Amino acid sequence: MTQPLSNDSRAQLEALYQQMEPEGLYPLWEKLAALVLPQPQSPAQVHKWAYDKARDYLMRAGDLISAKQAERRVLILENPGLAGQSGITPSLYAGLQLILPGEIAPAHRHTQCALRFVMEGGGAFTSVDGEKAVMHQFDLVLTPGGQWHDHGNPTDTPMIWLDGLDIPTVRHFDASFAEHYHEDQFPEAAPAGDSLTRYGRNMRPLKGHTADRRPAHQPLFHYPYADWRPTLDAMASSGAEIDPHLGHALEFLNPINGGPIMATISAHVRLMPAGFETKPRRATDGTIFVVVEGTGEAVIDGETTVLSPRDILVVPSWKEVVFRANSQLVLFGYSDKACQEKLNLYKEENA
Ligand code: GTQ
């Protein structure tokens, strides 16, 4: 047992703290337990956004400000436990972006990595360094850090997607750079879908004069629903053993190195058959889920959240999760696992 401080020592210490404070000096022994936690205690809360409700507000914003005026017309999904920080978890950002028919969101580039997961619409594009990916519902599209990107919607229906960025991570490292392109759209540099053709089929360009136009760390930036959804189905119907903690689950990859899609963000999809219930699992990567299909429940640290199509759910670090599929449940998820693994921080527990 350590000896308790005498009242006299305590009083003298308090006086010392007051004198030191203006010098920017503080006693670690008063704060150590709160700084070095025995396990994660996320300030983020479990939270769900119902798509239709968020969509109504987004469409109202669409009546008032154009995509070009806004630069990006996005409603930020801020975690109620992270007020004022524009984060959905301490490391990640989420927003819902609307591009109305005929609109463009002008070209810019920034250090931050972004993914787009299409919630509604089809036929709008994201252009990355001059190559368009034409987007459809539940496609995953990446705009990796440092690459010029603009968005446009030449169709006659609104297009809405979920933006997932590492804004808080880049802020944490004080490493943000951003610039505007001097025109609205970056000049076309490759045919639409070019990298999907080259890198999205388990192959890559053979080295040559024209090969490897894309940066090696970021070859592919379009992962269509039309590809990943049948793959999940094939997995489910093949008789393959289902993972008791995840369901049938597939991670999106960088096809060149087999690593995660971007340096700071990982993404995956999973399918749980009707009636399936996962075993409890917790992990240090707070995760943002989108319900692609089906209904069910997420039981997080014992509290139940009902899941319906296009709901967006955030599960902070180290919360124990059980998913229950009422009908066949398909989820998309993204997290900072890619970043944590590089820092040797990632940990999971499968009960
Ligand atoms: O589309 O580039 O939601 O730069 C936040 C910051 C979207 C984008 C966001 C961004 C973008």
Mutation probe of ligand 1 site: the residue of 71, 72, 97, 99 with most atoms within 8 A of C-beta: 72
pLDDT, residue 224, reads: 98
pLDDT, residue 213, reads: 77
Report the chain's mean pLDDT, rounded to a whole number. Answer: 96
Q: Which residue is associated with the tokens 């999973």?
A: 270
For the segment 230-259, the average pLDDT, to the nearest whole number, is 95
Q: Which residue is associated with the tokens 């007020």?
A: 83
Task: Say if residues 179 and 146 touch (Cβ distance below 8 Å).
Answer: no
pLDDT digits (tens, 9 = 90+) for 228-244: 999 999 999 998 899 99
CA distance 46 to 280: 16
Ligand 1 atom with the smallest distance to the CA of 105 is 1
Instruction: Identify the residues whose C-beta falls under 6 Å from ligand 1.
Output: 72, 74, 95, 97, 110, 114, 163, 165
Residue 1 has pLDDT above 60, yes or no: no
CA distance 82 to 157: 34
Q: Tell me how far the alpha carbon of residue 73 lies from the centroid of ligand 1, in angstroms.
A: 9
Q: What is the pTM of this model?
A: 0.96
Mutation probe of ligand 1 site: the residue of 73, 78, 92, 97 with most atoms within 8 A of C-beta: 97
pLDDT digits (tens, 9 = 90+) for 30-61: 999 999 999 999 999 999 999 999 999 999 99
Mutation probe of ligand 1 site: the residue of 73, 74, 99 with most atoms within 8 A of C-beta: 74
Task: Say if residues 159 and 135 touch (Cβ distance below 8 Å).
Answer: yes
CA distance 92 to 90: 6
Helix (H, G, I), strand (E, B) or coil at 161: strand
CA distance 281 to 61: 38
Q: How many CB atoms lie within 10 A of CB 136?
A: 16
pLDDT, residue 3, reads: 85
Q: Tell me how far the alpha carbon of residue 77 lies from the centroid of ligand 1, in angstroms.
A: 13
